[in-house]
Structure 1
Amino acid sequence: MTVDLARRPPEPPPPLRGSLAATMYREYCLLTRDRTNLLLAIVPSAVYLLLFATSLANLVGEVRYGGRTVGYAEFTVPAVLLSSMLAAATTAGTSLFQERLGRMDVELWSYPLGTGGYVLGKLLVSTLLILAQTLAALVVALTVLDFRWPPGNWAAALCATGVAALAFNGLYLLLATRFSDFRRFSVTINVVAPVLLFSSPSFYPVDRMAPVLQWLSWANPVTYGIRAIRDGALFGFGAAWPWLLVLAGIAAVTGPLLARSLVARAREL
C-alpha cells in the first residue's frame, strides 16, 4: 500500500503556549548566562539618570508642564528611561542579525516553532528587561532626587513603560527584518534614534521647541512614549490614557506585521 504524501493533510501548527515558553526560556538564558551583559543592560539607565538629572537640575531649575511647575530632574526622568528603552530595542533588533549570521535561524525554523509564540516571547522578554531597567533607575531617582509620586502615579508610569516597551521593541524588530545587511541596520538605528529622541519633547517642553520640530513631534512615536510615561508619573492614569492608547495601537499593528515579515524571511532560508 502506498501513501500519497501530496494528499496528506498538513500538520497542525505548534501550540502558542509551547512556542512562547520555549522562546522566553531561550531569551532568558541568552540574557542571564553572561552576567556582564545583564549588568550592562540594567545599570546604564540608572547611571545616566544620576549624572544627567543631578547635573542639570540646578542649572535649569524648574519647568512649567501641564499647568504646574515641576523640577527639571522630575521632568527629564521619562526621557532618560525612554533613551534606555531605545537602546534595549536596538539590542533586540540586533539579536535577529546575530541569529542570522550564526545560522541559528535555520535551526530555529527547522523545529516546530510557532511564529506567534516566537514574536511574543521576544517582545515579552525585552519588555521585562526594560521594566528592570526602569525599576533600577527609579530606585536611584528616589535615593538622590527630591520628588515623590503617589502610588497611582507609580502604577501609571510603570504601565506606560511596559506598553511603550512593547511598541518600540516591535518597531525595532520590524525594522530589523527589513534589512539584509547588519551594517546598514546599525548605521540607520544610530542615526535615527537621536533624531527621534531630540525631535520630541524629551528634555524640553513642546512650547519651547522650534515650530518645525513641534510639527515633527506629532509624527514621532517617541513623543507618545515620553508623554505616556511623564503624564502617568506626574498626573496618573487620567492624563496618560490617550498616549497609552496610541502606543497600544502601535504595538497591535507591529506585532502581526513582524510575524508576517519573519515568515517571509524563514521561507528564504
Structure 2
Amino acid sequence: MSQSISPTALAPQTAQAPDPGAVAEFIQETLALTQRLFIQLQRRPSTLVAGVIQPMMWLILFGALFTNAPQSLFGPEVHYGQFLAPGVIVFTAFSGALNAGLPVMFDREFGFLNRLLVAPLASRYSIVAASTIYIISLAFVQTVVIIGASAALGAGLPNVVGLGEIALIVLLIVLGVTALSLGLAFALPGHIELIAVIFVTNLPLLFASTALAPLSFMAPWLQWLAALNPLTYAIEPIRYIYFNAQWSLTSPVMAAPWGDLNFAVMLAVLLAFDLVVLLLIQPLLRRRFG
C-alpha cells in the first residue's frame, strides 16, 4: 500500500531560531567562567601589576634612551615619547593576548578543563568566550593606563573620537592574537611548548614592527617584514591619531614598500587577520568542543 505523505513533510526545512533559553544559559556560563578568571586575578594580582609596570618602564626608559635622537627621524615637532606611545599600547595588548592560552593550558594539565567538558554546559564555547572577555578587559585596563601615563609624559591625548578608534584597533588586534593563543593551547602538548612559542614570537614581532622605529629607519628587507606584520597595522593608525587631530578613513597612514595605505585599508587588514585566525582554529575547537 502506498503511504500518504503529509504536505508539511515536503515543505522546505527552515533554519531554526536560536533557543532563547540556550542563549541565556550560554551567557550565564560565560559570565561565571569569566568571573572565575577575575577571582584568580584578584588572588594573584601580579599579572595585572606586571602588565601595567612593564609598559610604564618602556615609556620612561626608551623615551630617555632616544631623547637626543635626530628630530627629523620621527617627523617635525615630534619627540620620541609621542612616537613610542602607540607602539607600547599595541605591544602591551599583543603580549597579554599572546599569553591568553596559558590559563587554558594549565586547566588542561590540572584536569579542570576535562571537568568542564563533561559538565552539562549549554555550549562548550563559553570556555573560549570567557577567556576572550577576560583578556580584552585586561588589555583595555592596560591601554587606559598607558594612554594616561604617556599623556603625563608629554605625548598628548587624542580626542574622544580618536580614543574610540584606538579602542577599536586594540580590540581587533587582541581578538586575533587571543584566538591564535587559545588555538595553540589546544594544539600544543603542554605549557612548556606554549611558553617557548610565546618567547620565540614576542620580541621578533616587536622588532619587526614600527613600534620602536619608523619604516624609513630600517633595512629594506626589514621594511618588508614590518609592512607585513599585523602589529604594524595596529600601531600606525594609532600613531596617526596621535599626530593628527583631523583624520578620516581615507587618510594616508603608512608608506609601505609597495605603496601608501590609508586608514580603511589598515583596519581591513586587521579584520582580515582576525577572520583568518578564526578559520584556522575552527578545526581545533570543533575537535575539542564538538
Q: Determine if the TM-score, normalized by the shorter chain, exceeds 0.5.
A: yes
Contact 1:157 1:233 in 2 (8 A): no
Instruction: Confirm or deny that 1:43 pairs with 2:66.
Output: no
Residue 238 of structure 2 is aligned to residue 215 of structure 1 = no
Query: Given that residues 224 and 247 in structure 1 are in contact (C-alpha distance below 8 angstroms), is that contact kept between their aligned partners in structure 2?
Result: yes
Question: Which stretch of the first structure deviates more once superposed, 230-239 or 45-54?
Answer: 230-239
Q: Between Structure 1 and Structure 2, which shows a larger proportion of helix residues?
A: 1
Q: Check whether the contact 1:24–1:125 (CA below 8 A) recurs between aligned residues.
A: yes
Q: Is 1:245–2:245 an aligned residue pair?
A: no
Q: Which residue of 1 aligns with 2:176?
A: 167
One-letter amino acid of the structure 2 residue matched with residue 156 of structure 1: E
CA RMSD of aligned residues (A): 2.6
Taking a change above 3 Å as real, the CA distance of residues 177 and 221 of structure 1, as seen in their structure-2 partners, is farther
> Quick check: 2:30–2:129 contact (8 Å CA) kept in 1?
yes
2:73 match: secondary structure: strand
- Distance in 2 between residues matched to 1:144 and 1:246, nearest whole Å: 31
The aligned residue for residue 117 of structure 2 is 109
| Letter of the 1:135 counterpart | V
Match of 2:138 in 1: 129
Gaps spanning 5+ residues in structure 1: where? 1-11
Tell me what 1:264 maps to.
287
The verdict on how the C-alpha distance between 1:69 and 1:116 changes in structure 2, with shifts beyond 3 A counting, is: farther
In structure 1, the residue corresponding to 2:33 is in which secondary structure? helix
TM-score, scaled to structure 2: 0.77
Q: Is the 8 A contact 2:125 2:289 kept in 1?
A: no
Cα deviation, residue 102, structure 1: 0.9
The number of residues matched between the two structures is 254
Paired residues of 2:234 and 2:266 also in contact (CA < 8 A): yes
1:82 aligns with 2:106: no
1:56-95 matches, within 5 Å, as 56-61=66-71, 63-64=73-74, 70-95=78-103
Change (3 A) 1:217 1:38: closer
Distance 2:155 2:28 in 1: 46
CA distance in 2, matches of 1:51, 1:14: 51
C-alpha change, 1:132 and 1:99, in structure 2 (3 Å) is same
TM-score by length of 1: 0.82
Identity of aligned residues (%): 23
Using a 3 Å threshold, how does the CA distance of structure 1 residues 115 and 247 change in structure 2: closer, same or farther?
A: farther
Deviation at 1:217, TM superposition (A): 2.4
Report the 3-state secondary structure (helix = DSSP H, G, I; strand = E; otherwise coil) of the residue aligned with 1:57.
Answer: coil
Asked if structure 2 preserves the Cα contact closer than 8 Å seen for 1:57 and 1:72, the reply is yes
Asked if residue 118 in structure 1 is aligned to residue 127 in structure 2, the reply is yes
8 Å CA contact retained: 1:202, 1:223? yes
CA shift, 1:21, in A, is 1.8
Instruction: Identify the match of residue 193 of structure 1 among 195, 202, 213.
Output: 202
| Structure label with greater radius of gyration | 2
Contact 2:74 2:83 in 1 (8 A): no
SS in 1 for 2:156: coil
CA distance in 2, matches of 1:201, 1:242: 17
Following the alignment from structure 2 to structure 1, what is the Cα–Cα distance between the partners of residues 280 and 22?
A: 20
- In the alignment, structure 2 segments of 5+ residues that lack a partner are 1-18, 252-262
CA distance in 1: counterparts of 2:159 and 2:237, whole angstroms: 16
Q: Distance in 1 between matches of 2:109 and 2:241?
A: 40
